[in-house]
Structure formats: structure tokens, C-alpha cells
Amino acid sequence: MAKFKVNGVEHELDIEPEMPLLWAIRDELGMTGTKFGCGIASCGACTVHVNGSAVRSCVLPVSAIEGQDITTIEGLAFAVNAADAGGINDKNAPDITAVQQAWIDHQVPQCGYCQSGMIMAVSSLLASNPNPSDADIDAGITNVCRCGSYPRVRKAIHSLASA
């Protein structure tokens, strides 16, 4: 049995301990916001948060996250806004986070497939480094976007830092 929380909900799954978290999320739980891109932790499309930090879930066996708190793109707003509200589920909290809003404001996504992972990675970066330099962004955001949304990702991050 694999036990872990996803977006605040406890799950107990009868799955192999070596099954990567990505496939537990997608195929076992049917939550499809987290994407499969490369399967070898190279592209970052599968990025989720484990206890608040960005992790590439496609190579992370569920045995490694036993009992931990997983946040996916579907739960990001709840996790962030709940944290801001002191852990209380504030019904007036916005449905999306400041990062997601910046993605809309800067019209960042194109095909959008990589953007769940991109947003999870950026949210994690900004949580630990609220005002990243370009070099910090280059080093911290290594996700692949085949459409080339990178210039807008960078602009959106800077807009959040200066906000």
C-alpha cells in the first residue's frame, strides 16, 4: 500500500512501490493536470510539489514519498491561498495564484502542455527566492517548452518579483 496526500486528500493505493508518482497521479487517481513529457526527469513537464518543493514526479517512486504532502497544479491555488490565509480554507480566496494570474497577464502559454510543470517549478522558485535574478531563473527553471514561451516566462517571473 502506498499512502500519501495529494492536494490535501489522503490516498491509500494498492500499487507497486516502484511506480513513479506521475503515473500514480495520472493513471491511478485520474488527475491529468500533471503531464508526461520525457519520463527521465529531463523536461520538467511532470513537476509537482512534495512538501512545497518542486520535484519531477516521473522518476520518483511512490515509496519515496510515503506519508508526504503532494501538491499538483490542480491543488496549487488551494495550497498557496490556504497557506496565505493561515491554513484556513478561505472561500473568498482566488481560484488561481499570483503566478497563474501573471501567466494570463503575460499570455505565457502557447500549446500549454509544459505549463503545469513550468508553473509548479516557478512557484517553488519564487517561494524560496522571491526576487530571482536572470541567472537565478536560468539555473532554477530548466523545464523544456517546445513552443518557446521562455521570454514570457521570464517576464512574468520578474513582474511577480517586482509586484
Partner 1 sequence: MKVSRRRFILSSALVGGGVLIGYSATRPSKHRLANNELAKGGEHYVTSFLKIDPDNQVTIYVPHAEMGQGVHTSLAMMAADEMDADWEKVSIEQAPATDLFANGDLIKGFAGEAGVPGFLMGLVNVSATKIAEIGNLQITGGSSSVRFTGDTAMRTAGAAARQMLIECAAQRWNVPAGECTAALSYVQHSDSGQSLTYGELASDAALLEPATEPDLKDRSQFNIMGKAISRNDIPAKVDGTAPYGLDYHSEDMLYAAIRMAPVFGSKLVSVDASAALSRRGVKRVVELEDSVAVVANSYWRAKEALKLVNAEFETSENDSISSADIAARFDAELASSNGSKDFEQGDTDDAIAGAADTIEASYRVPYLSHAPMEPMNCTVHFHDGKADLWTSTQDALGIRGRVAKIGGLDENDVTHHFSYVGGGFGRRLPFTWNVIDHATLIAKEFDVPVKTVLSREDDMQQDYYRPAVHSNFKAGFDSYGNIVAWHNRFTGPIQVAGAAFIPYDIENQSIRVVDGETHVPIAAWRSVDHSQQTFFTESFVDEIAHRTGINPYQFRMNLLQRHPRHRKVLQVAAEAAGYGQNLPEGHALGLAVQESFGSICAEVAEVSIGNDGQPIVHKVTAAIDCGWAVNPDTVEAQVESGIIFGLTAALYGEITIENGRVAQNNFPDYEMVRMADVPEIEVHIVESGEALGGLGEPATPPIAAAVTNGLYILTGQRVRNLPIRKHDFSKPASLAAI
Residues making contact with partner 1 (CB under 8 A): 16, 19-20, 23, 26-28, 30, 32-40, 42-43, 45, 72-74, 76-77, 95-96, 100, 103-104, 107-116, 119, 137-139, 141-154
Rounded Cα gap, residues 83 and 35, in angstroms: 25
Residue 35 Cβ vs partner 1, minimum distance, rounded to whole Å: 7
The 10 Å Cβ neighbour count of residue 111 is: 10
Rounded Cα gap, residues 65 and 32, in angstroms: 19
C-alpha cell at 89: 480554507
| Strands 9-13 vs 53-56: parallel, antiparallel or unpaired | unpaired
Judged by beta carbon, residue 86 or residue 142, the one nearer partner 1 is 142
Angle between helices 150-162 and 115-128 (to 10 degrees): 30
Judged by beta carbon, residue 90 or residue 138, the one nearer partner 1 is 138
Rounded Cα gap, residues 1 and 15, in angstroms: 6
Residue 122 Cβ vs partner 1, minimum distance, rounded to whole Å: 10
Residue 130 Cβ vs partner 1, minimum distance, rounded to whole Å: 18
User: Amino acid letter at 163?
Assistant: A
Judged by beta carbon, residue 45 or residue 50, the one nearer partner 1 is 45
Judged by beta carbon, residue 12 or residue 86, the one nearer partner 1 is 12
Rounded Cα gap, residues 63 and 65, in angstroms: 6
Judged by beta carbon, residue 44 or residue 86, the one nearer partner 1 is 44
Residue 87 Cβ vs partner 1, minimum distance, rounded to whole Å: 21
Residue 140 Cβ vs partner 1, minimum distance, rounded to whole Å: 9
